[in-house]
Amino acid sequence: MLEVAQLSKVYGPDPAARPAVADLTFDVAAREFVCILGSSGCGKTTMLRCLAGLEPVTSGHVRLRDEVVSGPPREMAFVFQDYSRSLYPWMTVERNVAFPLRYKGVPKQEARAATQEALEAVGLGGRGRSYPWQLSGGMQQRVAIARALAYRPQILLMDEPFASVDAQTRAGLEDLLLDVWQRYEITVLFVTHDIDEAVYLADRVLVLRAPAHVALTVEVDLPRPRNQLTTKGHPDFGRLRSELLAALSPAGTPQ
């Protein structure tokens, strides 16, 4: 599905400058849920922006279904960390979700149905007429997820999407995401700095170290469907958690 090969990114014209991403290589299979785990400042966001075609790469390449990514691909949707800066405050929730569909050439009737369906999938079926700023942070991020789902992507890129909501809301959003991931049969690449979140969600966790490269790959074979209580109480959960914590610990942590 997604193939990242020897990807490097250096900001600015100086080729000797410290790269943000260096020789990053990994694959994501179709319908896989992959978490990218890294401490802050390790180049996660830059990497994701390169994958999304929002940032030109310095060398190497990103391929999505065998096509080199040179600009934002149609099969991809992006969910940003800061929902308040990615939803449009002058549009209702409904309009926010439907907005990209218009330019994708989706007929009006179909767009309306897809919007309603996506909003219902995230539990906001009745809030279409509200404005984003009338909703709580968790609800706003659900709107952002609905917008991504209605776009019918094959792959969803998520940049620490739950980092700015409280723990309770966060657990709910994680379960919601797993649910729609199954229901919409999509591939998810999820960036986080939270070990528990990565283990709870992923099929596979990639540990990133600065400048962004894969330092460790951990397969997560915890049973699905996952559950906040039983999965996090599973003996393997603790083992994976420790393994990842060790990988992220001082020796591996930049700065």
Partner 1 sequence: MTRTAIGTAAGGRTRPAAGGGTRRWGRALRLLALQLVVPVVLLAGIWWWTGQAGSFYFPPASEVARYFADLWLFERVGGDVLPSLGRMFAGYAIAVVVGMVLGTALGLSRLLRTAADPVVQFLRALPPPALIPFALLLFGAGDWSKVFIIALGTVWPILLNTIDGVRGVESQLLDAARSFQIPAGARLTRIVLPAATPRIFAGMRTSLSIAIILMVVSEMVASDNGIGYFVLESQRSFAIPEMWTGIVLLGVLGFVLNWLFVVMEARVLFWHRGLKGNSDA
Residue 204: which residues within 8 A CB-CB, separation 6 or more? 32, 33, 34, 35, 217, 218, 219, 220
Residue span binding partner 1 (CB under 8 A) among the ranges 82-90, 106-114, 201-209, 226-234: 82-90
**Residue with Cβ nearer partner 1 (101 or 244):** 101
Measured from the CB of residue 99, what is the shortest distance to partner 1 in angstroms?
Answer: 7
**Cα separation, 252 vs 68, whole angstroms:** 31
Residue from 76, 122, 145, 158 binding partner 1 (CB under 8 A):
76
Instruction: Determine contact, residues 34/189, Cβ cutoff 8 Å.
Output: yes
Given the structure tokens 């299979």, which residue do they identify? 29
Measured from the CB of residue 73, what is the shortest distance to partner 1 in angstroms?
Answer: 8
From 107, 225, 235, select the one nearest 175 (Cα to Cα).
225
CA end-to-end distance (rounded Å), the chain:
34
Residue span binding partner 1 (CB under 8 A) among the ranges 57-65, 84-92, 163-171, 214-222: 84-92
**Cα separation, 14 vs 151, whole angstroms:** 38
**Residue with Cβ nearer partner 1 (104 or 108):** 104
Judged by CB under 8 A, the chain residues 20 through 49 that form the site for partner 1 are 49
From 48, 49, 4, 9, select the one nearest 29 (Cα to Cα).
4
Asked if 163 is part of the footprint of partner 1 (rule: CB under 8 A), the reply reads no
Single-letter amino acid code for the residue at 225: P
**Residue with Cβ nearer partner 1 (1 or 87):** 87
Task: Convert residues 87-106 into a mask of x (bound to partner 1 by CB under 8 A) and - (unbound).
Answer: xxxx--------xx--xx--
- Interface residue list for partner 1 (CB under 8 A): 49, 52-54, 72, 74, 76-78, 80, 82, 85-90, 99-100, 103-104, 131, 133-134, 147, 151
